[in-house]
Amino acid sequence: MHLRDSESDAEFRAELRAWLADAVPTLPAPPDAQDWPGRRAYDTVWQSMLFEAGYAGVNWPSEYGGRGATPTQHLIFLEEAAAAKAPDVGVGFVGQMHAGPTLIAEGTPEQQAHHLRGILTGEHVWCQGFSEPGAGSDLASLRTRAIRDGDDYVVSGQKIWTSHAMVADYCELLVRTDPDVPKHKGITWLILPMDTPGIDVRPLMTVQGSAEFAELFLDEVRIPVTNRVGDENDGWRVTNVTLSFERGTGFVGELLDTTNIMRELVELAQRTPRGAGTAWDDDGLRRDIGAIAAELDALWAFTKRNVSQGAKGGMAMGSGSAFKMSYATVVHKLGDIALRVLDRSSLAFDNIGGESTGAQIHHKLKGFAVGIGGGTSQIQQNIIAERVLGLPRER
């Protein structure tokens, strides 16, 4: 067992670090969070720079245009990019982390040829149409209906939590193609071009006061059968194949972001007058932050364990669930401490007193996104209890 870089990993890290040091300062100022066209343009510029430098799709196989790097090098890429304050994957998230890997595993050669390069260069932005108002934790109960009509599927229904839908070119869409079979067996995976007639995108305001998500209303949207990935009614398996691509790096960007927020909170506490000294002089507060730092350090080590296992063939069952639910808890706890430090500066998202107080409140609320999105913490607990600990299912 080692923590130090191997020789080839050290070389990869050094080259990447040198490139980032040159590349990041050439970026324009980041756009406002609500400026969606601006965000798309910004993220696309960065992605095209990565592509030109050979750092797009670091973990994608080289025959599909990726770098074919090891999971460890992917981790190094994410670590160094965060350290250099490079933009994160942004609007490229669904394409690079989910749709692209799905097409690599299950797409036809034509679909791969048409889509993969665009995802890597940043030209094609994807969104995800999986969840529905009536299909959250029980995703397989989804009801958006697709009826075959000649060479098309005619799709009607409603999707929700569709990140980046406002600026996406394509949507990975799960539809019900057979309502008369057990729920997992009547689902199909389709590529939906977002300029198809019949799509209505309505931004969905979150508790953070921003429209990070959208609802997608589909009214007799015609999708060519050639846009189907995998067989008809085999979409549930296709979706799960993609999930098995996870090699432990899924939350690295967020984890490093939280670590930064924690560091900023310490500096803020050291500058915040409290009693005769500062907030940082409070033993209780300091120990609580120490415990949070210990947990974030541990989650970073957990990530390295998962990546190490991923490199040997696959993460242990339950590791992803344990990571995600633990991470959600840490974000909530950090946010609780942030409110103690901010005190009445927490009454607005605006920065107060020349400090970046707003970022702390935004991050506190993000705890909900981590603990709910992509499978709630309670669903993760069920997964661990049933699939790892072998406890019987509830009848």
Partner 1 sequence: MDLDPSEDQRELQQMISRFSLDRFPADTVRDFAEPGRFDRSAWRELAELGTFGIALPESSGGVGLRWIDTVLVHETLGAALTPGPLLAATLAAGLVPGVLEGEVVPAIVERPTHGAVVIEHLSVADVLLVIETDGVRQIDPSSLDATLLTEPTDPATPVSVVRDLPTGELIADAAAAERLRLLGSLLASAQLVGNAEGSTTLAVTYAKEREQFGRPVGSFQGLKHLLADCYARTEVSRSAVWAAGVLVDEPEAGDLRRAVAGARVLAGRAAAENGKTCVQVHGGMGFTWEVDAHLFLKRAWVLETAFGSIDEAAELVAEALAASLS
- Which residues in this chain contact partner 1 in the complex, by CB under 8 A? 1-6, 9, 72, 75, 262-263, 266-267, 270, 280, 283, 286-291, 293-295, 297-302, 304-305, 307-309, 311-312, 318-319, 321-323, 325-326, 378, 380-382, 384-386, 388-395
Minimal distance, residue 21 CB to partner 1, in Å:
21
**Smaller CB distance to partner 1: residue 110 or 394?**
394
C-beta pairs of 345-353 under 8 Å, 24+ apart in sequence: 349/209
Cβ neighbours for 107, distance < 8 A, ≥ 6 positions apart: 115, 229
CA 315 to chain centre: 18
User: Which residues lie closer than 8 Å to 59 by C-beta, 6 or more apart?
Assistant: 66, 67, 69, 71, 74, 247, 249
| Residue 131 vs 377, nearer CB to partner 1 | 377
CB 218 within 8 A of CB 157: yes
Q: Which of residues 312 and 344 has its CB atom nearest to partner 1 in the complex?
A: 312
- Nearer CB in complex with partner 1: 270/351: 270
Rounded least distance, CB 305 to partner 1, Å: 4
| Beta carbon of residue 346, minimum distance to partner 1 (angstroms, whole number) | 22
Token pair of 382 as six digits? 């069920």
For residue 356, give the H/E element and its range. Answer: none
Parallel/antiparallel/unpaired status of strands 213-224 and 152-159: antiparallel
Q: Which is nearer to partner 1, 18 or 317 (CB)?
A: 317
- How near is the Cβ of 31 to partner 1 at its closest, in Å? 29
246 vs 97: CA distance, rounded Å:
9
Q: Which of 79, 80, 246, 295 is catalytic?
A: 246
Q: Of 75 and 127, which has the nearer Cβ to partner 1?
A: 75
Q: Give the number of residues written for the chain.
A: 395
**Of 142, 49, 47, 151, which Cα lies nearest the Cα of 100?**
47
Evaluate whether 242 touches 98 at the Cβ level (below 8 Å): yes
246 among known catalytic residues: yes
Q: How far is the CB of 371 from partner 1 (least distance, A)?
A: 13
Q: Do 162 and 213 contact (CB within 8 A), yes or no?
A: yes
The C-alpha atoms of residue 354 and residue 342 are separated, in whole angstroms, by: 12
Distances (CA, A) of 211 to 35, 201, 350, 351, 371: 10, 12, 17, 20, 19
Which C-beta is closer to partner 1: that of 58 or that of 218? 58
Least separation in angstroms between residue 86's CB and partner 1 is 21
- Three-state SS at 251: coil
Least distance to partner 1, CB of residue 212, Å: 27
Task: Give exposure, 287-320, as e/b (b: 16+ Cβ within 10 Å).
Answer: ebbeebbebbeebbebbbbbbbbbbeeebeebbb
Catalytic residues: 246
